[in-house]
Amino acid sequence: GVELIGVTAGETKDPEKNITKAINGVVWRILIFYVGAIFIIVTVYPWNELSDLGSPFVATFAKVGVTIAAGIINFVVITAALSGCNSGIFSASRMIYALAEKGQMPSFFLKVNKRGIPLYTVLAISIGIFFGVILDIILPHVLGKDTNIFVYVYSASVLPGMVPWFAILISHIRYRKLESERTASHPFKMPGAPVTNYLSIVALITVLVGMLFNDETRVSILIGIAFLILSTIYYIVKVPKIEK
C-alpha cells in the first residue's frame, strides 16, 4: 500500500519535505521488516520446509528461546491489520470524495466535518467493514464451514489493486514527457526512470501471469477480472450521463 503516500500529499503542510521523507522511510522499512525478516527465517529453516512449521515467525522465535512468541506475533498481526484497515479507510474515503466532486458518486459524499474530514465517506466505508465482519461470521453457518468471505473479497481486490500501479507507472512516463523542463530540475526524481517504470510494468504482468497458472491464486485473477468488467460497464453507462 505504499502508493497511499501519494494520496496524503494533498493533506500535508509541506509535501516536498514530508512526502520525500515518508517515501524514503518506507523503502527502508520494507527492506528491514519484509526482506530482512524473510532473510532471517530462511537462514534458520530451509524454505521448502516452512509450510510444515505453521507460522515461521513463531517457530523462529521459539527456536531462539522466546517462549511467548505466539503472543508477540498475534499482537503484531492485530496491529498490522488495524493499521491496514486505517489506511484503507483513509484512501478509499478520499477517492470517493474525489469521485463525488466529479459527479461520479452521490453528492452527499462531499460533506466534511469541521476538521475537513469527508464524514459520510468514512462512515459508509466503516459500515461496509462492519457488515463484512458480520457476514464472515454468519455465512459459514449458512453456506458451509468452508465459506470464507474474506478470501472472496481479498481475491476481488488483487487485480484491481494492481491497476492503480499500472496507472501510476504509465502516468509517470507520460508526465515526464509532457513536463520535461520541470522534471529536469525536480528535487525528488525517480531513479532510473523511465527504464524502472517499464521494468516495474513487466514485473506486474509477470506476477499476474504466474497467478493464472497457480491453482490457489487463479480465482483471485478471475474474480478481479469480473469486478473490473462490472466497474467498466458502470463507468461507460454512468459517465456520459454526467458529462451531458
Q: Which domain range does residue 180 map to?
A: 148-244
Q: Is residue 203 part of a domain?
A: yes
Q: Is residue 217 part of a domain?
A: yes
Give the Cα separation of 123 and 7 in Å (integer): 19
Burial (0-12, 13-18, 19+ Cβ within 10 Å), 147: middle
CB 188 within 8 A of CB 127: no
Give the Cα separation of 242 and 59 in Å (integer): 56
* Residue 3 pLDDT > 90: no
- pLDDT > 90 in the chain, percent: 16
- Which of the pair, 1 or 194, is modelled with greater confidence? 194
Q: What is the CA radius of gyration of the chain?
A: 21
Q: Is residue 226 part of a domain?
A: yes
Please tell me the number of Cα atoms within 13 Å of 62 on its side-chain side: 12
Q: Is residue 200 part of a domain?
A: yes
- Which of the pair, 204 or 223, is modelled with greater confidence? 204
- Which of the pair, 71 or 206, is modelled with greater confidence? 206
Q: Helices (H), strands (E): how many in the chain?
A: 10, 0
Ordered DSSP codes for 83-128: HHHHHHHHHHHHHHHHHHHTTSS-GGGG-B-TTS-BHHHHHHHHHH
Task: Tell me the pLDDT band of 219, cut-offs 50, 70 and 90.
Answer: confident
* Residue 119 pLDDT > 80: yes
Mean pLDDT of 3-30: 83
CB 195 within 8 A of CB 169: no
Q: Is residue 152 part of a domain?
A: yes
Mean pLDDT of 10-21: 83
Q: Is residue 96 part of a domain?
A: no
Q: Which residues pair with 118 in a beta bridge?
A: 112
pLDDT in tens, 159-194: 888 888 899 999 999 999 998 888 888 888 888 989
> Cis (ω within 30 of 0) for the bond into 46?
no
* Residue 8 pLDDT > 70: yes
Q: Is residue 160 part of a domain?
A: yes
Tell me what pLDDT residue 240 has. Answer: 63
**Tally of domains within the chain:** 1
Q: Is residue 18 part of a domain?
A: no
